[in-house]
Structure 1
Amino acid sequence: MTTLVFLCAAGFIAAFVDSIAGGGGIISLPAFIFAGIPPHLALGTNKFSSSCASFTSSLKFARSGKVDFKILKFLVPFTLIGAAAGARTVLSINAKYLNSIVLILLLIVSIYSLFSKNVGLKDNFKSTTRKTLFIGMLFAAALGFYDGFLGPGTGSFLIFGLISIYKFDFLRSAGNAKFLNFISNITALIVFIVNRQIDYKLGIPVAICMIIGARFGTKLALVKGSKIIKPIFITVSLCLAVKIVYGIIY
């Protein structure tokens, strides 16, 4: 019971943060592992719970008009393919070798966002081109693979990437990122279900708490907009970088 309460609390906080700026996996996945769940089972159970939260958050962003389906219809298939490939890959190899690459990318993203005062504060999207759609599809496939393979930080990378490619503000980018994140989550989840890597006794109650956390976080993001998303985004990115450094050293 103590373990379940701990995981539910961690899940609520993770979903709250993730629905605003991504990066909730830096809280929820380590919580499952700390609770003594074997790595692959922890990945699968966390993916199950976080998928439920992603759906809740995606739905609320979509209803608020912050999801651009005209763009996403091109990106979603590549996210799906990447996530399926990533989930299949992680079941056969050790995920730790991605740490150094992820660390470098997170530091670049967070430092750039920190010192670029105007990035993501205004929505400068005008229209798509063949070039931006092509770059977006490659980006969606790569992030889908990473999310299926490991996961933590995917939301942060998606938000930053969509801002860079389409010139969205943080709020609009968060809405689109959350939808893509949901697609990669559900795709990877199917692979984990097929391979029986989910503990439903823990996953279901944690999922309920994550749904509640996602609702609160999404509501706050929609009310406060980019001004609250940007500082949380930078903080989450730096925290994930610190976590990875700690893991490499110790």
Structure 2
Amino acid sequence: MLEWYHYLLLITVGFAVGFINTVAGGGSLLSLPTLIFLGLPAPVANGTNRVAIVIQTALATAGFKSKGVSTYPFNLRLGIAAFLGSIVGATIAVDIDGETFNRILAIVMLAVVLIIIFKPKMRLEDMQERLTGKYLWVSLIVFFLFGIYGGFINAGLGFLMMFFMHYYNRMNLVRVNATKVAVVFIYMLSALAVFAFYDKVNWKLGFILAIGNGSGAWVASRFSVKKGDGFIKTFLVVVVILMAIKLWFGDQLMDWLCTNILNNKYCS
């Protein structure tokens, strides 16, 4: 039986997750453990988290649009490709050791950080967006693959989407984020439908989490437009490093927390 403060915790975590997901990515690495901590089985926590992400990305998209930032129809095309991929990802299980997968993802995240930090600035003529022709077709294939992973777990995918669109499609980070949230909204609808079909969604906790996610996303979308690329780049680097550390040392950190802080009360 959950207490009132558990719901407050869920909303607070949701706000942080919504902000992080909108400006960078990886917020599900916070919300999924929180849902499991509150007693949901991992598959149900995964499905429940999708409720909040759908509402989060809908409000983030509206927030960007209210500031005049939209990449339609490019975002719709990528969204449809990811939508198809997410159907595949949400209905299959990938047989890979969890610890190995987390460490691979941590290495990918750190590689993204190094590229962001040390890659020479693009010349003005190189910043011409590449959203049509062969660049569009390659993007559709890549986002179909992104959709498969997004339908399966989704955690950390925002980093890869941002990296790809910034350096391949040559979009500034504000427009990258506006595109990302619209794409995630589209493909997350199909993933949520699959989880709901298999009765793997706790709707009550999903909508409570969504209160926080949606609020954080709305604030982040408008704030990031005002602050621009510099703020997004700094925020992205910090979040990626923290998430990579969590992925690499997650089990050791949890063991230490259980032994020294929680006295094994919540670690059974």
Do the structures match in fold with TM over 0.5?
yes
Where structure 1 has 5 or more consecutive residues not aligned to the other structure, the ranges are none
Q: Paired residue for 2:245? A: 242
1:143 and 2:146 correspond: yes
Say whether 1:88 aligns with 2:91: yes
Instruction: From the superposition, tell whether residues 7 and 135 of structure 1 become closer, same or farther in structure 2 (CA, over 3 Å).
Output: same
Q: What is the aligned partner in structure 2 of residue 12 from structure 1?
A: 15
Report the Cα distance in structure 1 between the residues aligned to 2:66 and 2:133, rounded to whole angstroms. 28
Question: Is 2:67–2:222's contact at 8 Å kept on the other side of the alignment?
Answer: no
Moved over 4 A (4+): 92-95, 119-123
Distance change (3 Å), C-alpha of 1:217 and 1:129: closer
Q: Which whole-Å CA distance do the structure 1 matches of 2:124 and 2:6 have between them?
A: 40
Q: Deviations over 1:75-99 (max 9, x none)?
A: 2221011111111124x85782632
Aligned to 2:116: 113
Give the direction of change, closer, same or farther, for the CA distance of 1:120–1:25 in structure 2 (3 Å limit). farther
Count of residues in correspondence between the two structures: 249
Compared CA separation, residues 128 and 214, structure 1 to 2 (3 A):
closer
- Equivalent position to 2:72, from 69, 72, 80: 69
Is the 1:14–1:25 contact (alpha carbons within 8 Å) kept by the matching residues of 2?
yes
Q: Who is 2:202 aligned against?
A: 199
Alignment of 1:211-250 (within 5 A): 211-247=214-250
1:122 positional shift: 10
Match of residue 102 from structure 2? 99
- CA contact 1:84–1:187 (8 Å) conserved in 2: yes
- Give the drift of 1:100: 3.6
CA distance in 2, matches of 1:121, 1:38: 50
TM-score, scaled relative to structure 1: 0.90
Code of the aligned partner of 1:184:
Y
Residues 205 and 229 from structure 1, CA distance in 2 versus in 1: closer, same or farther, beyond 3 angstroms? same
The one-letter code matched in structure 1 to 2:181 is: K
3-state SS of 1:53 partner: helix
Distance 1:131 1:147 in 2: 24
**What is the CA distance between 1:184 and its match in structure 2?**
2.0
Q: Deviations over 1:83-132 (max 9, x none)?
A: 11111124x85782632432222121111112236369999134434321
- 1:210 equivalent in alignment to 2:213: yes
Listed as ranges, the gaps of 5+ residues in structure 2 are 256-268
Q: Which has the larger radius of gyration?
A: 2
1:160-175 correspondence runs (5 A): 160-175=163-178
Q: What TM-score does the superposition give when structure 2 sets the normalisation length?
A: 0.84
Post-superposition offset of 1:149? 0.8
Q: CA deviation at 1:168?
A: 0.8
Paired residues of 2:86 and 2:188 also in contact (CA < 8 A): yes
- Of 26, 30, 42, 1:27 maps to 30
Partner of residue 152, structure 1: 155
1:161-189 alpha-carbon deviations (Å, 9 max, x no partner): 10111111111111111111111222211
2:106 counterpart letter in structure 1: L
